Amino acid sequence: GAGVSQTPSNKVTEKGKYVELRCDPISGHTALYWYRQSLGQGPEFLIYFQGTGAADDSGLPNDRFFAVRPEGSVSTLKIQRTERGDSAMYLCASSPSGGTQYFGPGTRLTVL
Amino acid sequence: AQKITQTQPGMFVQEKEAVTLDCTYDTSDPSYGLFWYKQPSSGEMIFLIYQGSYDQQNATEGRYSLNFQKARKSANLVISASQLGDSAMYFCAMREPSSGSARQLTFGSGTQLTVLP
């Protein structure tokens, strides 16, 4: 079956701009996670959705970051007023509730 | 304190040989899960193997096995009969109840494995 998909695969933007990153989870997976991975490091948790609601957003670094999952399937991570330090790989994962997380191919964000 | 420690930034192994990637963890929860993921240069994190803290036997999945030593808090990944396609970054990760309702994964810093022909 289809795995987790993420678009775009690469995004280059300028400092101060707004970006949206999209995640399409595995069909039927109720849990969805966003992680951020800086170069040479392991992924770090950003936010978790169970169904439509953000059940845990404790990993979001500041209020420039926001994510939605309006219909309990596709999720969008939104970053306002991007900064150079936001440059990273953004990974999305989905799981059956409490189960193993399966990751998408990621979006590599570069802020110039 | 680091939750997950991977002390080998890089490892080399000859094709067809076995290799062990080290992982130690730190938790006070009696119930937790340990995972290994592979990340090729393309970036996608590929799930390899899972070990639950209450599992009596070491997990195995094809050429992958997990050497779980609970008292030592180690969960080393063993890859048998290495193939050139095994060259990638390998991450150990832990899921524990105290991380909250999210049960998010906490990752180590990874080990870059290179398989030599």
pLDDT, tens digit (0-9, with 9 covering 90-100), for B61-95: 999 999 999 999 999 999 999 999 999 999 999 99
Reply yes or no on whether the pLDDT at B101 is more than 80: no
Under a CB-based contact definition with an 8 Å cutoff, are residues B34 and B94 in contact? yes
Residues of chain A whose beta carbon is less than 8 angstroms from a beta carbon of chain B are: 33, 35, 40-45, 48, 50, 55-56, 58-59, 89, 91, 93, 98, 100-106, 108
Tell me what pLDDT residue A1 has.
60
State the best of A6, A26, A38, A56 to mutate against chain B, taking most chain B CBs within 10 Å.
A56
pLDDT in tens, B1-36: 679 999 999 999 999 999 999 999 999 889 999 999
CB burial of residue A28 (10 Å; 0-12, 13-18, 19+):
exposed
Distance in angstroms (rounded) separating the CA atoms of residues A109 and A90: 7
Distance in angstroms (rounded) separating the CA atoms of residues A81 and A101: 30
Tell me what pLDDT residue A52 has.
82
Partner-chain contact A106 B108, CB within 8 Å: no
**Short-list A24, A30, A61, CA closest to A46:** A61
Below-70 pLDDT ranges, chain A:
1
pLDDT in tens, A42-54: 999 999 998 888 7
> What DSSP character marks residue B3?
S
